[in-house]
Structure 1
Amino acid sequence: MNVPVGIVLVSHSAELAAGLRLLMRQIGSDSVPVATAAGSGDGGIGTSYDLVLSAVEDADRGRGVLVLPDLGSSVLTARAVLADHPRRDVVIADAPFVEGAVAAVVTAASGADLRTVADSAEGARHVRKL
């Protein structure tokens, strides 16, 4: 069985990440491991270094992990975690949060490798809506 690339959603809002994770599960079935690192850890708005680190471990099934932050300090937090715990099989995507996540989960569900999943997420930046 082909294990897909995992995806981590890093957001300031637990509710935002949970909603996006639900959408991704509906699109990518349950085959793609999607973990969230959202909120400050105490129920507030913010990002947590420890939650990001834990989510990367949760999403890892051996094919790599794509980290997708929403904005601002979530990007900084995710980058700090990856700098402190460097792994060749964990990358951060410079992609729109919702569109990038959807593109990533569809691509990961097809069995694509980490670089292809990351490219798909980042390519979502150029998809026009109208």
Structure 2
Amino acid sequence: MIGILVVCHSFKASSGIAETALQMAGEKARVVGVGGNEEGGIGTSTGRIYEALLDLLNECDGIVVLPDLGSAVLSTKAALDFLEEEQKGRVLIADAPVLEGAVMAVVEASTGSSLEKVKQVAEEAHSLKKLRV
């Protein structure tokens, strides 16, 4: 199974996005949201991201990370530096819109797709159109 890690600057946003994405796949996927700084305010926490990565790596074959903003990418990369090389090879960061990417990624992951395919599908969310005008 491929896990999805949503990294946001807000704990509420990360939890809500994870909850929304899980509605699409149910028990067939694992989605975790991590957000907020060490004090629980707005920001990101390398330590919290690292802990979430370890938890998911214990349960999943690989992880696609969906960060909300650039500094979430930096915090995720910093957390990756604490992982063993084998573990790092099982984590990919997607350049995708966080909500749409998470939903598309979890649906793809629930079908048993590979890590690379789940990342690709998440990134394809850039082309989604909400309105046809």
TM-score in same-fold range (> 0.5): yes
- 2:108 corresponds to: 107
Is 1:31 the counterpart of 2:28 in the alignment?
yes
Deviation of 1:31 after TM superposition, in Å, equals: 2.3
Task: Give 5+ residue unaligned stretches, structure 2.
Answer: none
Partner of 1:30, secondary structure, is helix
Q: Distance in 2 between matches of 1:11 and 1:88?
A: 22
- 2:53 corresponds to: 56
Deviation of 1:30 after TM superposition, in Å, equals: 2.5
Q: Distance in 2 between matches of 1:77 and 1:20?
A: 19
Deviation of 1:72 after TM superposition, in Å, equals: 2.6
Letter in 2 for 1:75: V
Q: Distance in 1 between matches of 2:56 and 2:30?
A: 5
Match of 1:67 among 60, 65, 72: 65
In angstroms, what is the RMSD of aligned CA positions? 1.3
- 2:77 corresponds to: 79
Q: Deviations over 1:43-101 (max 9, x none)?
A: 10000001111111122224101111000311111122224434111110010001100
Q: Distance in 2 between matches of 1:108 and 1:67?
A: 13
Does the CA-based 8 Å contact 1:68-1:97 persist in structure 2?
Answer: yes
Letter in 1 for 2:20: L
- 2:12 corresponds to: 15
Partner of 2:69, secondary structure, is coil
Q: Distance in 2 between matches of 1:126 and 1:34?
A: 23
Q: Distance in 1 between matches of 2:27 and 2:41?
A: 28
Identity, in percent, stands at 40
Q: Deviations over 1:103-124 (max 9, x none)?
A: 1000001111100000000111
Q: Distance in 2 between matches of 1:84 and 1:16?
A: 25
After TM superposition, the runs of 4+ consecutive aligned structure 1 residues lying more than 6 A away are none
Task: Give 5+ residue unaligned stretches, structure 1.
Answer: none
Letter in 1 for 2:27: D
